[in-house]
Amino acid sequence: MKKVEYNITTDKGFLPPQEIEIEQAILGGMLIDSRAVDEVMLLINTSEVFYKEQHQVIFDAIQQLANDSKPIDALTVANKLRANGTSEIAGGDFYVAITLTQKVASTANIDYHCRIVLEKWVKRKIIAIAQQQISDAYKATVDIFDLLADAEKGLDHINEMLDTGKSTVTFSNALQQVVERVEMLSNQKENEVSGVTTGFKKLDVFTGGWQAADLVVVGARPGMGKTSFILKNLLEIALKGDAVGMFSLEMSIQQLATRLVAINSEFHLSQLFKKGFEHDKYFLTLNEVVGAMEQLNIHIDDSAGISIQQLQMKARMWKRKYNIKALFVDYLQLMSGDSKNGNREQEISLISRKLKQLAKELDMPVIGLSQLGRSVETRGGDKRTRLSDLRESGAIEQDADTVLFIFRPEYYNMEVDPELFEMGANTEIQFAKYRAGSLETKGLWWQGDKTKFMDPEDKPEYFNAAAGVQPNNEVPF
C-alpha cells in the first residue's frame, strides 16, 4: 500500500490551528533551562508538532544535541544549526539567541505549553487527513479499503504521538493502586472474578478471570476443540451482560451461532447441523433458547483473511460503540500482516505484537487461538504440547501473558492425569506460560456429542468417572 503524506492547505480563508508565541516560549525555555529539555522531550518527540519550519529545525538541533548528551544553550544550538546547514531557515543566530530567549521568563508552565502545541498539531493533522480523504474519495481508481486504511494509519500516527504525552504514574501512586487492588480482591464475593470470566469455575478460581490488557493464547492441534473452548468463554461473558467481540477467520457467523446454541442448550450439534428434530416439541425449546440469546451483546466479524490493521480498526470501533470487555481471534495463523518481504514468521510476529498492543490500548483481554506444528503428531510417547510447538513464531510465546494448551488424552488413546481423572475430568488445560502465577494443569470435561467443555462437576450424571472416561467418535471443531 502506498505511503501517504498529509500536507495541510488553507481552506476558505481559515489559517491552520497554531500558537506561534507558545512555540517560541517552549524553544526559549529549552535554551535557558536544561531541565525544561527533559520535560519537553517526554511530551514531544518529533519536530513536526511545531507549525513553523524555523521552529522545526531548531527543535531538531536541540534533539540531536540531547541525544548526543551535549550541553544545550543558545550558543550550542546556533552552532548545531550551522553544522546542519539550517541556520538561515532558523532565522540566524539573533533569532535563536535573542528572540527566543526573551520570549520566556520562566519554564514553570512548559508542560502546559507543550500540550497546547500538541493540541494544535492534532487539529492540523486531522484537517490534513480529511483533505486527503476528500481528494482520494473523488478518484475512481482508489480502492475503498485502501482509503479507510490510509485514514486509519493517519489517526494511528496521531495516537502514537499522544501516547508519549500520557502522564507517568508515580511509584507512590502505583503502590497505592496495589493496596486498592488487594482491597478489591479481598472484598470479592464467592465466584466473583477480578477480570472477565473464562467460562469455567476452575479456571476462574485459578486465574481470577482473563485480565485487562493481557494477551491470552490458546493452542491446540486440530480436533482438540479449541474453538468450542473460546465459544464457551465468549458465551459466558455475554450471559453476564457484557459486550464481547470475535473475529472468526475460519468459520462463518452462522456456524458459530449454531455452536453457541449447542453450548447453551442440551441439543446435540448433529441435530442442529445435520439431522434436525424427530419431534416438533423440540422446536419450542429451540425457540426459547434462541429468543434468550438474541439479546446477547455479541459482535462477530467472519471476514476471511482479515489483516491485523483491519482487525485493529474494527476492534476500536466495537470498543467505542459497544464497550466490549474481551476480544477473541480464531485464529492467528489465518490473519494477514503487513510483511514487505513475504517472511511468514515475521508476519506472525507482527500480528502477535499488534494484538498485545491492542489489548493494552483498549484495556481488555485479547484471547487468540493458535495452531500447533505437526511435530506433535510425529513425537513418540507423550503427545502433550510444549511452547516450542507454537506454529510459525516464537514471538507468540514472548508477547503472550498467558499460553494454555488444550489436550484430550483419549484422542491419542492416552490416559488422563490420574489426579484429574479422579476429579471427573477427561481434558487437560495446560498453563504453559502464566505471568501472574505458577504453571499448572487444570481439568475440564469434554462432551463430544454436544461438542462443548464444562467443569467436571457439571457433567451429566450418566457419565461415571469411576467407570472410566466414556470415549466418543464425534469430531470437535
Residues linked to residue 215 through DSSP beta bridges, in sequence order: 366
Give every CB contact of residue 297 below 8 A, 6+ residues apart in sequence. Answer: 238, 241, 242, 243, 244, 322
Looking at residue 469, what DSSP letter applies? P
Strand partners, 368: 217, 329
Distance in angstroms (rounded) separating the CA atoms of residues 445 and 426: 5
Instruction: Indicate the residue type of 238.
Output: A
Distances (CA, A) of 442 to 3, 355, 425: 48, 26, 9
Which helix or strand (DSSP H or E) is residue 368 part of?
A: strand 366-371
Q: Which helix (H) or strand (E) holds 124?
A: helix 110-137
Helices (H), 240-384: 253-263, 269-270, 281-293, 308-322, 344-362, 375-378
19, 250, 361, 397: the catalytic one is: 250
Contacts of 90 (CB under 8 A, 6+ apart): 54, 57, 58, 61, 81, 96
Task: Establish whether 250 is a catalytic residue.
Answer: yes
Count CA atoms closer than 13 A to 201's CA, side-chain side.
9
Here the cell at position 39 is 520535560
List of residues 6+ apart from 66 with CB closer than 8 A: 37, 41, 72
User: Edge-to-edge strands of the sheet including 427-434?
Assistant: 298-301, 244-248, 327-330, 366-371, 215-220, 402-407, 427-434, 441-447, 452-454
d(CA 325, CA 244): 6
Residue 241 pairs in a beta bridge with none
Active site residues: 250
